[in-house]
Amino acid sequence: MDKIQLTINGTEAITENTFEVLNPATEELAAACPQADAKMLEQAIGSANQAFPGWSGLTHADRKARMLLIADLLEEHMEELAGILTLESGKPLNGFGGVGSMFEVGGAIEWCRVTAEIELPVEVVQDNDDARVEVHHKPLGVVASITPWNFPLMIALWHIIPALLTGNTVVVKPSEYTPLATLKFVELANTVLPPGVLNSVAGDGSLGAQMSSHRDVQKIAFTGSSQTGKKIMQSAAGNLKRLTLELGGNDAAIVLPDVDANDVAPKLVGVSLINSGQVCAAAKRLYVHADIYDEVCAAMVQVAESTTMGNGMEEVDFGPIQNKAQFDKVCELAEAARREGGRFLTGGAPLAGMGYFFPPTLVADLDNGSRLVDEEPFGPIVPIIKYSDVDEVIARANNSSAGLGGSIWSNDIAKAEELAQRLQCGTVWINNHAMVQPNAPFGGVKESGMGVAFGSHGLEEFTSIQTVIRNKA
């Protein structure tokens, strides 16, 4: 792969140190990534601060045109970026249900183009003989973007594009596990952006801590764990930074007894094991009615056992878990499920050989109170839980500190919509799960976050409101 660089003020930032980025499929070195230090981060934030007046002073149409050019660059370099993503994240180029590295780059392109078309017009709330009152959306300043390792490029775009479109400047720090594609993207984007508008740094969590407490950063956009999100919230209090926190989820999918088991099983496998389960809004707890429980379990086993797992550069359905720490957690939760009486229908133990491979694992006969049900595994292991009473299962689904997404599966749409309103989560799908789109707001409640992304609601997160009152009397 080409040289990896950090970009500050539109040019390559030379670092003294590097850190290793491993290929999780082989546990071999994928690249040596430049490592920023505290001084370099100060330079990046300073550069973004200096660029802010000029960038925010452009018209919305000017900034929109640059966002569309960025989308064109992504499309032009799609295969290159997808290859880098597979190398660093392990996900297949295509993958089960077509969700792989090519899908991620394609999603980034789509989000870029759709978001670029969204505007926040001036709202006139009063215009009479007394006064004209207008509400304007103003950019905040420097936005710090801190991104995770599961969809590193697409989530970076989710942060960066709305921030830039609304007139802010950005410093992005990708996860130290998967920095490569994001750094390459920032390098490409700087060919069509003014210097300092978009800057990149890379390194461990100490950089993120410095970003979240820095007085010249006006907003943090963070996607990651609830534990880290709480720390960021505390650090951001110094200058009352704006926050958009998209945090962990433990989504419940409730399957009603009127569905066809053979029809719903492939869909349930897809939405729970998507990206080897490494999706914040994947279905992580499957509650299936007792009348069809055995049928659904059997049909899901048939689908799961037909899939393939291996190096993402090959034609496989699933790749490895991205890093050793997460791999160890999945192994630990599998052992806990075994001790707690879980019946393993598929998988259950890591594959032999190199790489962080854990096969698609379906576990029956657990309930709330077991670790695999109560904790987010963020891996290819899913509990299938039997229930009989709908009111009771809604209560069990809501009995969680997480509240990102949920779903109802039924042929009775009216019934599904009524139950959906009772779930305590930011997004509810009916007969689907984990499918987000750029024009619909997405965010969590409870400990799954604050604020939303996407659509006009997401765009507003990167602005402040200024009310202009012109007296006429």
Structure pTM? Answer: 0.97
**How does pLDDT run across 449-462, given as a tens digit for each residue?**
999 999 999 999 99
**How does pLDDT run across 317-338, given as a tens digit for each residue?**
999 999 999 999 999 999 999 9
**186 confidence band (pLDDT: 50, 70, 90):** very high
Whether residues 26 and 163 fall in one domain:
yes
- Does residue 435 sit within a domain? no
3-state secondary structure of 157: helix
Whether residues 225 and 362 fall in one domain:
no
Residue 385's H or E segment, with its range, is strand 381-387
- Does residue 261 sit within a domain? yes
3-state secondary structure of 200: strand
Whether residues 219 and 296 fall in one domain:
no
pLDDT for 402: 97
The amino acid occupying position 163 is A
Closest CA to 101 of 53, 54, 63, 150: 150
Distance of CA 204 to the CA centre of its chain: 19
What percentage of the chain carries pLDDT values higher than 70?
Answer: 100
Whether residues 168 and 294 fall in one domain:
no
- Does residue 218 sit within a domain? yes
**2 confidence band (pLDDT: 50, 70, 90):** confident
What would the mean pLDDT of 376-391 be, rounded to a whole number?
Answer: 98
Domain of residue 194: give its range: 6-247+446-470
- Does residue 438 sit within a domain? no
The amino acid occupying position 240 is L
* Residue 167 DSSP symbol: T
Contacts of 146 (CB under 8 A, 6+ apart): 172, 173, 208, 211, 212, 220, 221, 222, 223, 224, 232
Contacts of 462 (CB under 8 A, 6+ apart): 139, 140, 143, 162, 163, 166, 168, 219, 221, 242
Helix, strand and coil in the chain, % to nearest 5: 40, 25, 35
* Tokens, residue 147: 């991104």
The amino acid occupying position 225 is S
- Report how far apart the first and last C-alpha atoms of the chain are (Å, whole number): 67
Helix ranges (DSSP H) in 8-149 = 38-56, 60-76, 78-89, 101-116
| Residues facing residue 285 across a β-bridge | 252
What would the mean pLDDT of 358-387 be, rounded to a whole number?
Answer: 98
Q: How far apart are CA 322 and CA 299, in angstroms?
A: 28
- Does residue 340 sit within a domain? yes
Q: How far apart are CA 77 and CA 1, in angstroms?
A: 13
pLDDT for 473: 83
Cα 22 to Cα 27, 72, 127, 458, distances in angstroms: 6, 29, 60, 33
Where residue 293 sits, what CATH number does that domain have? 3.40.309.10
Whether residues 417 and 290 fall in one domain:
yes
Between vectors from CA 204 to CA 87 and to CA 371, what angle results, nearest 5°?
Answer: 80
Q: How many CB atoms lie within 10 A of CB 317?
A: 21
Closest CA to 195 of 12, 64, 3, 40: 12
| Residues facing residue 343 across a β-bridge | 364
**CB contact at 8 A, 354 and 27:** yes
pLDDT for 168: 99
Burial label for 116, CB within 10 Å (0-12, 13-18, 19+), is buried
Whether residues 158 and 23 fall in one domain:
yes
Q: How far apart are CA 315 and CA 301, in angstroms?
A: 21
Contacts of 252 (CB under 8 A, 6+ apart): 283, 284, 285, 287, 396, 397, 400, 406, 407, 423
Structural domain count of the chain: 2
What would the mean pLDDT of 10-18 be, rounded to a whole number?
Answer: 96
- Does residue 242 sit within a domain? yes
Q: Regarding beta strands 242-246 and 449-450, do their DSSP bridges make them parallel or antiparallel, or are they unpaired?
A: antiparallel
What residues act catalytically? 246, 280
Q: How far apart are CA 126 and CA 129, in angstroms?
A: 10
| Residues facing residue 217 across a β-bridge | 142
Q: How far apart are CA 275 and CA 318, in angstroms?
A: 7
| Residues facing residue 200 across a β-bridge | 172
Q: How far apart are CA 340 and CA 336, in angstroms?
A: 6
Whether residues 142 and 241 fall in one domain:
yes
What percentage of the chain carries pLDDT values higher than 90?
Answer: 99
- Does residue 22 sit within a domain? yes
Whether residues 50 and 192 fall in one domain:
yes
Whether residues 124 and 145 fall in one domain:
yes
Where residue 74 sits, what CATH number does that domain have? 3.40.605.10
Cα 198 to Cα 11, 115, 151, 229, 322, distances in angstroms: 11, 17, 19, 23, 27
Whether residues 29 and 140 fall in one domain:
yes
**How does pLDDT run across 418-431, given as a tens digit for each residue?**
999 999 999 999 99
C-alpha torsion sign, points 139, 144, 150, 151: positive
Q: How far apart are CA 166 and CA 462, in angstroms?
A: 7
pLDDT for 1: 66
Average pLDDT of the chain to the nearest whole number? 97
**3 confidence band (pLDDT: 50, 70, 90):** confident
What would the mean pLDDT of 82-98 be, rounded to a whole number?
Answer: 97
Whether residues 278 and 326 fall in one domain:
yes
* Residue 58 DSSP symbol: S
Whether residues 258 and 235 fall in one domain:
no
- Does residue 47 sit within a domain? yes
pLDDT for 272: 98
* Tokens, residue 417: 């919509």
